[in-house]
Amino acid sequence: MPRGDLFPDIAPYETGLLPLSGGHVMYWEQVGNPQGQPVLFLHGGPGAGAGAVHRRFFDPAHWRIIIFDQRGSGRSRPLGELAGNTTPNLVADIETLRRFLGIEGWLLFGGSWGSTLALAYAQAHPERVQGCVLRGVFLGRAAEVEWFLYGMRRVFPDAWAQFAEHIPEAERGDLLTAYLARLTDPDPQVHFAAARAWSQYEGLCSTLMPSPETVASFAQDRTALGLARIEAHYFAHDLFLPPEGLLGHMARIAHLPAEIVQGRYDMVCPAESAFDLAAAWPKARLTVIPDAGHSALEPGVRVALVAAVERFRRRG
């Protein structure tokens, strides 16, 4: 997939491991201009981890780019650990990282679950947030989880069949419980097989046009285990969000500027949530990409995300 509309590959100028509560250790990195405007990248999932391509949404001459892997994800340790892994913990981890790096405030950039976490953090610490660039909005509502588990079969019946058939027919009425039991089974053969089935399902449904590259990246064992196990854990606990949900606290961030980029044919996080968020956020600008699905690397989505970041750059 050509990605000439992103900035060139770049290596971090600093990386580290930061001890957190409950025995977790966070991998973090800084990229770009050490004296630049800080921007925090929040990966999806929960549990997906960040990758080198995520550095490329930002002009390294201008931005001080901070990327980290959330608890149990990617290069953070222990991989796939669920103990102490909640949204409030992740929000606290971001504050731990901010203080460690000596940053007063930053722009938040997140897609899918990354948009959820960006909203949760901004609502908890609005004084530390300069604005948000969000993509493929996920608000963590019960209907959104139900759509992921069952609704996507309306558009991707073949992918859903593979997903469901990993579970015995008698248990398919509650796929989440059945998958979580297997994803937390101590036998690697059991939990890796379940993780691959879950992650491949998400990968198959993430792009408008078939993308073997996307599916292959989701299917890698380490990526799959962090993504599937942590995602199922969060789904089973209502994403560890308050009963009134994220839209119930929009007054806390109503003054902040935001850019929302949404693929019209996003099947993982349907456009309804992005429209609901934009309607509740007076200073948000919603850009709908007419020929895109969920992935941040869909051509129209990545162009729009770079443009959104550049508009924040001009704000100063």
Q: Specify whether 112 is catalytic.
A: yes
Active-site choice (43, 166, 249, 294) = 294
Q: Around 292, how many Cα atoms within 13 Å sit in the side-chain half-sphere?
A: 23
Which among 43, 54, 206, 266 is annotated as catalytic? 266
d(CA 77, CA 68): 12
Cα(219)–Cα(217) distance, integer angstroms: 5
Q: Exactly one of 112, 199, 206, 273 is catalytic; name it.
A: 112
Could you write out the DSSP letters of every residue in the chain?
A: ---TTSPPP---SEEEEEE-GGG-EEEEEEEE-TTSEEEEEE-STTTT---GGGGGGS-TTTEEEEEEPPTTSTTSBSTT--TT-SHHHHHHHHHHHHHHHT-S-EEEEEETHHHHHHHHHHHH-GGGEEEEEEES-----HHHHHHHHTGGGGT-HHHHHHHHHTS-GGGGGGHHHHHHHHHT-S-HHHHHHHHHHHHHHHHHTSSSS--HHHHHHHHSHHHHHHHHHHHHHHHHTGGG--TTTGGGGGGGGTTS-EEEEEETT-SSS-HHHHHHHHHT-TTEEEEEETT--S-TTSHHHHHHHHHHHHHHHHH-
Distance (Å, whole) CA 13 – CA 166: 43
Point out the residues that are catalytic. 112, 266, 294
